[in-house]
């Protein structure tokens, strides 16, 4: 379980301080959680704080009961937190097999690597020896990245807008992969997304706006609000919070 207590994050630009996140308090232990909100709301910053890429200005982060606030991204990875970037990194000279093996943290046979690729709908024979470079399409590189996440099988897996840069057909297939992913890794999955198809398969949806959590609940509770109020859902929810607070 990941827990955030009074997490804040501020950044300075041109001598002006801006509050990106304000007193975030969350406990996440569901199978599949979707984090959504408008651009610039702070959701990607929140995910990076959990992963250890960014350090909060104040507040604490706990993972399975341990205070990991001051741990590096490497130390958090060793404890079981994985992070998939919005735009996966490409490595010229490294094969798909090398990448999956590196993610697993142990030596894998070709057959084992092929199994991970098959899980994400790729013909292993066509990809196992290919380099992870610009010759791969957006959909292909996303699938390979998910294969590495399967190989890692960590307690918490974070995805930052996995739909970014891929075509509709590829995204439709990725939804199927995500639906099956939990059964493979048996860990918590947190996905940042604007896509309703991701909302549909989530057990819990957290909406962030202006650096604050403005809605949080099961999809049956949050989806109607998102559907009825878009595109002003976040401003409406923010006003509601202010009035009730």
One pLDDT digit (tens) per residue for the chain, 245 residues: 999 999 999 988 777 888 999 999 999 999 899 999 888 889 999 999 999 999 999 999 999 999 999 999 999 999 999 988 766 677 778 888 888 998 888 888 888 888 888 888 788 888 888 888 888 877 788 888 888 888 888 899 998 888 776 666 667 777 877 877 777 777 899 999 888 888 888 999 999 988 999 889 988 888 776 665 455 444 444 444 444 44
Q: What is the pTM of this model?
A: 0.80
Give the closest residue to 187 by CA, choosing from 157, 159, 146, 149: 157
pLDDT of residue 5: 96
pLDDT of residue 237: 45
Distance CA(21)–CA(43), nearest Å, equals 9
230 Cβ contact list (under 8 Å, min separation 6): none
Phi, psi of 23 (to 5 degrees): 45, 60
pLDDT of residue 187: 84
Give the closest residue to 147 by CA, choosing from 104, 106, 187, 186: 104
Beta bridge partners of 26: 4
């Amino acid at each position: 379980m990941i827990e955030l207590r009074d997490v804040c994050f501020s950044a300075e630009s041109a001598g002006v301080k801006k509050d990106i996140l304000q007193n975030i308090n969350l406990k996440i232990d569901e199978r599949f959680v979707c984090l959504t909100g408008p651009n610039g709301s702070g959701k990607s910053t929140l995910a990076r704080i959990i992963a250890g890429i960014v350090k909060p200005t104040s507040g604490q982060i706990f993972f399975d009961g341990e205070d990991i606030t001051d741990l590096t991204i490497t130390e958090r990875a060793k404890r079981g937190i994985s992070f998939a970037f919005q735009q996966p990194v490409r490595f010229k000279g490294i094969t798909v097999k090398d990448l999956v093996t590196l993610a697993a943290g142990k030596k894998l046979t070709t057959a084992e690597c092929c199994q991970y690729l098959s899980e994400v709908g790729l013909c292993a024979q066509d990809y196992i020896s290919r380099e992870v470079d610009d010759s791969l399409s957006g959909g292909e590189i996303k699938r390979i990245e998910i294969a590495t996440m399967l190989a890692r099988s960590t307690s918490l897996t974070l995805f930052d807008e996995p739909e970014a840069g891929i075509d509709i057909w590829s995204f439709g297939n990725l939804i199927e992969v995500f639906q099956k992913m939990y059964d493979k890794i048996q860990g918590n999955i947190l996905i940042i997304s604007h896509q309703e198809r991701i909302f549909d398969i989530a057990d819990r949806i957290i909406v962030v706006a202006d650096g604050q959590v403005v809605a949080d609940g099961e999809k049956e509770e949050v989806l109607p609000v998102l559907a009825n109020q878009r595109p002003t859902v976040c401003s409406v929810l923010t006003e509601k919070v202010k009035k009730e607070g």
